[in-house]
Amino acid sequence: MGFLDINNVTKSYGSVEVLHKVDIQVQEGEFLVLVGPSGCGKSTLLNMIAGLEGITSGEIVIKDRVVNDVQPSKRNIAMVFQSYALYPNMTVGQNITFGLEMQGTPKAERDAAMADVAKLLQIEDLLKRKPGQLSGGQRQRVAMGRALVRDPDVFLFDEPLSNLDAKLRVDMRTEIKKLHQKLGTTIVYVTHDQIEAMTLSTRIAVMYNGYVQQLGTPKEIYDNPANLFVATFMGSPAMNVLPSKLVEMNGALHAQIQGADGQDVHLRIEDAPEAYRAFVGKDVVFGIRPEAITDPEGADRNARNIQALSNLVSVTEPAGADTFVSTTLSGKDCVARMRADADVHPGRPFEFAVNMDKAVLFDPKTENRIA
């Protein structure tokens, strides 16, 4: 039993089921991020936790209380909306205390709570202004203040940073993380931005087509994606997925892929899991993250199995800190992430170092990871 339990929850609109048996247990103080592309059902799930949408089947439990039929205001949750949803006719101060006022908290207590929150978020000098007079970042703070002041059991964030410009988004992201570490509250956070998901969360639920594809810590999701969708959705640039064949040579398993020149290349796999056995001689999908393909000098010193791969460089994209190098493998573009000063040139062959510790294989039929 967790602090917030989502037990086999489904949601249907008429005969169309948009969420299928979602089952997530959130512990107290956890930062759960629901991430996925538009229309995956993440916002619907959040609205169901908030009580703004009905639950078709299953139950949602907050602090051992089934809240399926409890009014949003009685669930002791607070929500920050994508558009901030500040009441335009009220001052910042009134916005923050509106919830307390509705609950009948005496004026003196409301003012004290407001002062605390305003101090925490450094918005003390904005309290008399109207939302229309605030900048995007200030509105964001006020929206968080409105949630914080109620001291709820669970905070719900619905894409709170997507209306901010790039720089402010990064700043506010750090701020939310700091706030979470400071207050230790339980947070459910919806985003379509996988970087936000990775940086903020203690656990991530990757959603697609109304299913939770994988639930795990950011590291688990990143290193051991459960299927091709999770592998390609999380990470930027995306994981390289190459058509490949699993072959046995000299008593070891090899992933056989095709170089740019049409010749087969074999990458040796060490400590292969037992499950690989069933795929020997069959087609598989070979997955490798860009940062696992480097120049030989830039390779991870702790890696146990680094395979050399000589191939033609098609494009280099210097991005300041890193240089992204494209090459063609098995007829697909494959991106490598290298040090900025790696000596690579487009149109010339290059000796890539592939960190096979990080390689993963997928079943091309089910798209699930072979492990």
Partner 1 sequence: MAMASSDNAVRSSNFTRALIYLVLILFALFYLLPFGIMLVNSLKPLEEITGGNMIALPQNWTIAPWLSAWSTAQIGVQPTGLRPYFINSIVMAVPAVAISTFVGALNGYVLTKWHFRGATWIFGLLLFSCFIPFQIVLIPMARILGILNISGTAYGLILVHVVYGIGFSTLYFRNYYAVFPTELVRAAQIDGAGFFQIFWRIMLPSSGPIIAVCCIWQFTNIWNDFLFGASFASGGSAPMTVALNNLVNSSTGVREYNVHFAGAIMAAGPTLLVYIVAGRYFVRGLMAGSVKG
From the CB of 101, what's the least distance to partner 1, in Å? 8
Of residues 46 through 85, those in contact with partner 1 by CB under 8 A are 50-52, 71-74, 77-79, 81-83, 85
Query: Which whole-number Å values give the CA distances from 58 to 20, 22, 139, in the listed order?
Result: 10, 9, 36
Which one among 1, 16, 102, 166 touches partner 1, defined by CB under 8 A?
Answer: 102
Q: Which two tokens stand for residue 59?
A: 């139950």
Three-state SS string over 192-254 comes to CCHHHHHHHCCEEEEEECCEEEEEECHHHHHHCCCEHHHHHHCCCCCCEEEEEEEEEECCEEE
Q: Which two tokens stand for residue 260?
A: 């740019």
From the CB of 139, what's the least distance to partner 1, in Å? 13
Please say which residue, 41 or 290, places its beta carbon nearer to partner 1: 41
Integer Cα distance of 328 and 178 in angstroms: 42
Q: Which two tokens stand for residue 30?
A: 């956890």
Give me the numbers of helices (H) and strands (E) for the chain, helices first please: 8, 20
Which one among 25, 59, 63, 98 touches partner 1, defined by CB under 8 A?
Answer: 98
Please say which residue, 39 or 72, places its beta carbon nearer to partner 1: 72
| Residue 206 binds partner 1, judged by CB under 8 A | no
Please say which residue, 102 or 108, places its beta carbon nearer to partner 1: 102
Give the angle 331-335-341 at the CA atoms, nearest 5°: 135
For the chain, give the longest Cα–Cα distance: 80
| Residue 88 binds partner 1, judged by CB under 8 A | yes
Which part of the chain contacts partner 1 (CB under 8 A), choosing from 94-102, 113-121, 202-210, 328-336?
94-102
Please say which residue, 139 or 337, places its beta carbon nearer to partner 1: 139
| Residue 10 binds partner 1, judged by CB under 8 A | no
Size of the site for partner 1 (CB under 8 A): 22
Binding residues vs partner 1 (CB under 8 A): 50-52, 71-74, 77-79, 81-83, 85, 87-89, 98-99, 102-103, 146
